[in-house]
Amino acid sequence: MTQTAAAMTAEHLSKTYIRRTRGRGILGLTGREAVQVKALQDVSFRMEAGEIVGLIGPNGAGKSTMVKLLTGILTPTGGSCTVDGLIPWKDRRAHVRRLGTVFGQRTQLWWDVPIRDSYALLRDIYALREDRWRRRLGELTDALDLGELLDAPLRQLSLGQRMRAELCGSLLHEPAWLFLDEPTIGLDAVSKLKLRDVLREENRTRGTGILLTTHDMDDMLALCRRVMVLGHGRLLYDGGLQELLQRYDREHTLRCVFSGTPRFGSLPQGVALRQEEGAWLLTFLPGQIPVREVLQLVLAAGELREMTLREMNVDRMIAGMYAEMSL
């Protein structure tokens, strides 16, 4: 792969951990063995500046390991990587000045102090000019609805507020690249929408390259045109999201709420019907039964109040890929 400065490239990137098994005896120390765990195997890709790319895969697929290699937290066992011409684990000080990170299960802000003080410390860490820092802080607190929370310590914030505060801290120094590891996990719908809006705007106005790991299909549909799929440490797919969905999204569910009790009559083969919390769910394979035919069944069944089309979730889609590839 040809490299240019404003891009992220990985060539045959690999990472192997050594895990020691429990031995015999009361303390489990006798006869312990070292076992190699291949977290990442021969991964190559290129990501241009200004792209938003989704990184998906089941737990243990190697997503977090790859993000840690790209941010310079880990050193690879084999292969190479550059981000804007810098090697993350060798040029770490220069590299991290151009990065922002948000990890859904970790925090970069200080737990017991007002978040305003955390932002002031980040200003000093990144050596930001006072006027630039104040302007940027104002932009982000407005966009993320943090104005009334600046004097509250992080521990007093809800999960959604905390993640918005984390994103603000990661964007204060206007990074060229943003790494997001499950940033919307556990968030309510309003907080998810707010984070997505800000990410889209940062990408549009500043050209921020964003690598997003997630299990949330809605995150991907809202933000990503391109996705990379990891499985067993290998890169199984790198391409368009819509092409991936067309190939593997083989099951849709139509969730319907009626004013009264619907009368569906006999259903065609391949359509399954069940009730769930006051709604009726019709599951079908769009490749076998056109969506319009299922819609006709619903409209003929009764007075419709609400209808939502659910696509297959990420885990089931990847399970289909595993089955196809005999993994």
Q: What is the pLDDT of residues 207-226, one digit of tens each?
A: 999 999 988 777 888 899 99
Strand order in the sheet with 177-181: 99-103, 177-181, 209-213, 52-56, 226-231, 234-240
| Parallel, antiparallel or unpaired: strands 272-276 and 234-240 | unpaired
**Where a domain ends, among 246, 277, 301?**
246
- Within a domain: residue 53? yes
Same domain for 160 and 286, yes or no, is: no
Q: What is the pLDDT of residues 292-322, one digit of tens each?
A: 888 888 999 999 999 887 766 666 677 777 7
Same domain for 181 and 290, yes or no, is: no
Residues 6+ apart with CB under 8 A from 78: 12, 13, 14, 42
List the one residue out of 35, 42, 57, 36 whose CA is nearest residue 12.
Answer: 42
Residues 6+ apart with CB under 8 A from 24: 30, 31
- 149 lies in which domain range? 7-20+34-246
Same domain for 236 and 266, yes or no, is: no
| Parallel, antiparallel or unpaired: strands 304-310 and 252-258 | antiparallel
CATH number of the domain where residue 213 is located: 3.40.50.300
- Within a domain: residue 90? yes
- Within a domain: residue 196? yes
Same domain for 281 and 232, yes or no, is: no
Q: CA dist 296 to 267, 275, 299, 325, Å?
A: 11, 19, 5, 36
State the total domains in the chain.
2
CA-based end-to-end distance of the chain: 27
Same domain for 226 and 85, yes or no, is: yes
Q: Above pLDDT 90, what percent of the chain?
A: 54
Higher pLDDT, 290 or 87: 87
- The yes-or-no verdict on residue 261 having pLDDT over 80 is yes
**Where a domain ends, among 246, 261, 283?**
246
Per-residue pLDDT band for 184 (boundaries 50, 70, 90) equals confident
List the one residue out of 217, 216, 159, 172 whose CA is nearest residue 198.
Answer: 172
Contact of 262 with 294, CB cutoff 8 Å: no
Same domain for 94 and 232, yes or no, is: yes
Same domain for 222 and 88, yes or no, is: yes
